[in-house]
Structure 1
Amino acid sequence: MRRPVGLILICLGAFFLTLAPLVRFYVAGQVVLAPLNRYQVTRLEARNATYFDTATLKTRTGVKLQASNTVRGDVRANGGDDRIAVWDSSTNIVDTAVPDKPIQIQGYRIAFDRRTSQLTNCCGANADGDTSVRMSGYGLLFPLANVRKQDYPFFDMTTRQPAAMRYSGEEEVLGMRAYRFVQQVPNTKTAAVDTKLPAKMLGLKASAPDQKVDRYSQATITVWVDPRTGIPVKHRQQIHSTVQTADGKGRMTVASADLHTVPASVRGLVDMANSNAFKISAVRVHIPVGAVLVGLALLLVGAFIGLPPGRPAAPPAPRRADGKFGAARSSARSSAAARRD
């Protein structure tokens, strides 16, 4: 009975030792992927902000703005290619004094590789409905489970071009070690304004004719990222938007705000990052290491139980009081007796 049990344990041990590299190098690659069906709502706030109210044609200052960003995965938009994730993002900015009146609404769709997080141009990717935009670099996520202390190209949806997201140090966010990255988006023309504006609104002489203007935007974006998962857990967006004449002499601020992620949203993002980090660590470390330890233990126990014991050695002959072997003297006496007979 011992031998069959031992052989079974040895087989199980070999199975667990084979399972360890399979989980680490194959299963992990199939499991550690960006989700197709992400749903996430993040809120940001800005105090003492400024914006131009198009309804009253006045600039409002010292207001409190709230931005609500919703990310929703479109599972069927990838055309059946499970290597690609497609996420829609919409941001709605309101003055908290008149929350039913949006100041700005921005929407875009990104498609990206679920393993590397790099953007790809397919599946209806667009910025505010413009499908001619060619996206590159990264979008909503950093490299999945492999964030390094280096610069990354991130695509800015307002200016519709990539800008470097530069590593600027480590910082603790609600007990989690995060990498801080800063992106400087230069002042860039983003749209032509169809309607001419009065010169006085642009800081020019009132006697000057109405002016043709273009819209420009610039921003400093700071992101705190969980290096274990590539998930941003906190944002700061310092945005400044203007309209100005072609020569730059006439100018008016359209929006200026310093948006921060609200504490409740930071907590939710940190919890999500910790949950994903545990899953990644499980398939990359805990399960493979556990399988090796269990496999070795089963092999040792199986070998102890199942392998036949070695034949015991014959015990040495007892010595007589005179130091000679008793068995040898007895044999000599038997030989002498036989010769006498």
Structure 2
Amino acid sequence: MRRPLGLVLVGLGSFLLALAPLVRFYVAGQVVRAPLNFYQATELEARDARYFDLLEGRVRSGVTLAAVNTVRGDTRANQGDNDIAVWDSITEIYDKERRKQVEFQTYRIAFDRRTGKLVNCCGAHVGGDTRVQMSGYGLLFPVADVQRQDYPVFDMSTRRALPARFDGEERIHGLNTYRFVQQIPSTKTAKIDMRPTGKMLGLRGRDARRTHRVDRYFSATITTWVDPRTGIPVKHDQNIRSTVETEDGRGRMVIAEARLVTVERDQQRNVETANDYAFKRDLVESILPLVGLVGGLVLLLGGIFLSTRAPAGGDGAAQSGGGFTRKPDGRFGTAGPPAGGPPGGNPPRKGPAGSGSSGGQAASSDAPSPVGAHRSAGS
């Protein structure tokens, strides 16, 4: 019984030892990467903000703005290349008190699922412009490999990659995060149809009474708190400023100024999402391979021990127990009688015929001769 059980344990142990590196180096590569089918809505809020109300032609101050960003993965846009993920982003900025839309932004990114780096394919665009060439990182930092260093992050407003500099560590809802700060200098982003008056632009004299062509400029300080285990941002702080300026730079007007911060509810959810992905990563990279390695060794050694160990007391019991002995031909069996002796091996007692022997008791009383006793014993 021990030998078959030992062989089964040897087989199971060998299987686990072969499975451990497979999980670590192959399965982990399939699990530890950005998902294709992704959906998430995140809200940022800015208090005491101001923006230019186009309908009323004036700047509103002291308002509360909300920015709702929705990210959704397009599983078919990568044209069958499962190493590439394609995510669409839509952001609506609105006045929370008036429920009035202030701005609407859209873009699509394509990126390597293992590294998080942006690639130019699959209809990637900013505001519908597919001519934009993206580089660096987008919505995610390096997947499962964030270091204490600077990273180029693509800014959709200025359409270029700018460094996000490592600025220290900070705990967000119990999670230790890396803080990165990206400075976006004032950059002309577009020509617009808006024709404000010189007075609105801060000009005086004759220039104050006429309208002017203007360009839009954008600047910001963006702080991002990232889970270093997964590359998932858990909090954003976007201090943005958008202006319009005349071509000669003499006239300027602020059309949006706000500090948008991820609301607490979504910060907590992002932390939970990061913890879930981190657990899956640890499971396939560390826990399962270690369990397979240790369990495989234990089963393998135990199986070898049971397969090679002799049954307890095997030869000794066979040679000395229960009246069994080894015959001269090597077989086991009951001991035979000595040559010429009775089956019991003990010689018969000798004495006068018919005097207390079993043979004498069995003889007929009519024939008390030694010959009759001898026949009775041998019959």
Give the structure-1-normalised TM-score: 0.89
Q: Percent identity?
A: 58
User: What's the counterpart of residue 139 of structure 2?
Assistant: 140
User: What's the counterpart of residue 160 of structure 1?
Assistant: 159
SS in 2 for 1:142: coil
SS in 1 for 2:199: helix
User: What's the counterpart of residue 286 of structure 2?
Assistant: 285
What is the rounded CA distance, in whole Å, between the counterparts of 1:123 and 1:193 in structure 2? 29
Offset at residue 310 of structure 1 (A): 10
What is the rounded CA distance, in whole Å, between the counterparts of 1:193 and 1:173 in structure 2? 40
SS in 2 for 1:138: coil
User: What's the counterpart of residue 174 of structure 1?
Assistant: 173
Greater relative CO (CA pairs within 8 A, separation 6+) = 1
SS in 2 for 1:180: strand
User: What's the counterpart of residue 63 of structure 1?
Assistant: 63
SS in 1 for 2:277: helix
What is the rounded CA distance, in whole Å, between the counterparts of 2:118 and 2:191 in structure 1? 27
User: What's the counterpart of residue 199 of structure 2?
Assistant: 200
User: What's the counterpart of residue 228 of structure 1?
Assistant: 229
User: What's the counterpart of residue 127 of structure 2?
Assistant: 128
SS in 2 for 1:59: strand
What is the rounded CA distance, in whole Å, between the counterparts of 1:178 and 1:65 in structure 2? 27
Offset at residue 195 of structure 1 (A): 3.7
What is the rounded CA distance, in whole Å, between the counterparts of 1:230 and 1:202 in structure 2? 42
User: What's the counterpart of residue 79 of structure 2?
Assistant: 79
User: What's the counterpart of residue 343 of structure 2?
Assistant: none
User: What's the counterpart of residue 94 of structure 1?
Assistant: 94
User: What's the counterpart of residue 42 of structure 2?
Assistant: 42
What is the rounded CA distance, in whole Å, between the counterparts of 2:284 and 2:45 in structure 1? 37
User: What's the counterpart of residue 218 of structure 2?
Assistant: 217
User: What's the counterpart of residue 372 of structure 2?
Assistant: none
Offset at residue 97 of structure 1 (A): 1.4
Q: Which amino acid aligns with 1:48?
A: D
Offset at residue 11 of structure 1 (A): 1.6
Residues 1:311 and 1:64: Cα distance change in structure 2 (over 3 Å): closer
Q: Which moved more, 1:282-291 or 1:246-255?
A: 246-255
User: What's the counterpart of residue 338 of structure 1?
Assistant: none
SS in 1 for 2:132: coil
Cα deviation, 1:189-247, whole Å, max 9, x if unaligned, reads 00012243211110001521322110000010000000111000000000000000122
Greater radius of gyration (CA) = 2
What is the rounded CA distance, in whole Å, between the counterparts of 2:43 and 2:154 in structure 1? 21
Cα deviation, 1:297-337, whole Å, max 9, x if unaligned, reads 1012212211134999xxxxxxxxxxxxxxxxxxxxxxxxx
How many residues are matched? 313
SS in 1 for 2:281: helix
User: What's the counterpart of residue 303 of structure 1?
Assistant: 304
User: What's the counterpart of residue 2 of structure 1?
Assistant: 2
Q: Which amino acid aligns with 1:231?
A: I
SS in 1 for 2:166: strand
SS in 1 for 2:55: coil
Cα deviation, 1:68-89, whole Å, max 9, x if unaligned, reads 0000000111111111100000
What is the rounded CA distance, in whole Å, between the counterparts of 1:130 and 1:284 in structure 2? 40
User: What's the counterpart of residue 189 of structure 1?
Assistant: 188
User: What's the counterpart of residue 150 of structure 1?
Assistant: 149
SS in 2 for 1:200: coil
SS in 1 for 2:216: strand
What is the rounded CA distance, in whole Å, between the counterparts of 1:158 and 1:130 in structure 2? 12
SS in 1 for 2:72: strand
Aligned counterparts, 1:101-112, within 5 A? 101-112=100-111
Aligned counterparts, 1:247-286, within 5 A? 247-286=248-287
What is the rounded CA distance, in whole Å, between the counterparts of 1:173 and 1:311 in structure 2? 62
Q: Which amino acid aligns with 1:173?
A: I
SS in 2 for 1:202: coil
What is the rounded CA distance, in whole Å, between the counterparts of 2:43 and 2:200 in structure 1? 32
Residues 1:257 and 1:195: Cα distance change in structure 2 (over 3 Å): closer
After superposing on structure 2, the runs of 4+ consecutive aligned residues of structure 1 that deviate more than 4 Å are none
What is the rounded CA distance, in whole Å, between the counterparts of 2:278 and 2:264 in structure 1? 21
Unaligned runs of 5+ in 2: 314-379
User: What's the counterpart of residue 339 of structure 1?
Assistant: none
Give the structure-2-normalised TM-score: 0.80
